[in-house]
């Protein structure tokens, strides 16, 4: 059965931190919808936040110089196997895509992220997983 998000339930999305304007761009699309954005800078912060708050999805960003995004998703999967994850990458290759599929990542989005594509994927995810149209335009 698909859980339904009530209008009264707090909706939280957990995303990777960034040294650029990424968190602010997300807040710009989440705030008008009443969605809380939580930000984590590393794998332990992701797990700590997930343990303390109800998270509806994660957006994990890969950086070409770091390979910890898939490790973060692996750790999330060990503790919270059903939590939807979206992966962002500017250096997607067949190996990374295969690993993302093995980890049941909901969507892989190319960087630089086009917000229209991100909204489309979030809309698909929330309709499928939570029977919610909160991201419908």
Burial of 112 (0-12, 13-18, 19+ CB in 10 A): exposed
For residue 4, tell me if it sits in a domain: no
Q: What is the pLDDT of residue 2?
A: 52
Number of domains within the chain: 1
For residue 1, tell me if it sits in a domain: no
Q: Has residue 6 been placed in a domain?
A: no
Give pTM, 2 decimals: 0.90
pLDDT tens-digit profile, the chain (137 residues):
455 665 547 999 999 987 678 888 999 999 999 999 999 988 999 999 999 999 999 999 887 555 578 889 999 999 999 999 999 988 788 888 899 999 999 999 998 899 999 999 999 999 999 999 999 97
Strand partners, 61: 88
Dist. CA 28–CA 26, nearest whole Å? 5
CB contact set of 58 (below 8 Å; sequence gap of 6+): 13, 14, 15, 46, 50, 73, 76, 83, 84, 85, 86
User: Residue 91: its pLDDT value, please?
Assistant: 79
CATH of the domain at 54: 3.40.50.2300
Runs of H (alpha helix) within 9-67: 22-30, 43-52
Which domain range does residue 67 map to? 11-130
């Amino acid at each position: 059965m698909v859980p339904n998000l009530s209008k009264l339930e707090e909706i939280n999305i957990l995303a990777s931190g960034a040294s650029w304007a990424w968190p602010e761009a997300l807040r710009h699309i989440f705030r008008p919808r009443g969605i809380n954005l939580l930000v984590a800078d590393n794998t332990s912060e992701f797990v700590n936040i997930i343990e303390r708050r109800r998270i509806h999805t994660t957006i994990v960003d890969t950086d070409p110089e770091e390979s910890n995004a898939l490790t973060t998703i692996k750790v999330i999967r060990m503790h919270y196997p059903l939590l939807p994850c979206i992966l962002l990458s500017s250096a997607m290759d067949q190996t990374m895509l295969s690993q993302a599929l093995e980890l049941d990542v909901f969507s892989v989005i190319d960087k630089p992220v086009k917000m229209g594509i991100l909204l489309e994927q979030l809309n698909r995810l929330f309709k499928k997983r939570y029977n919610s149209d909160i991201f419908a335009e």
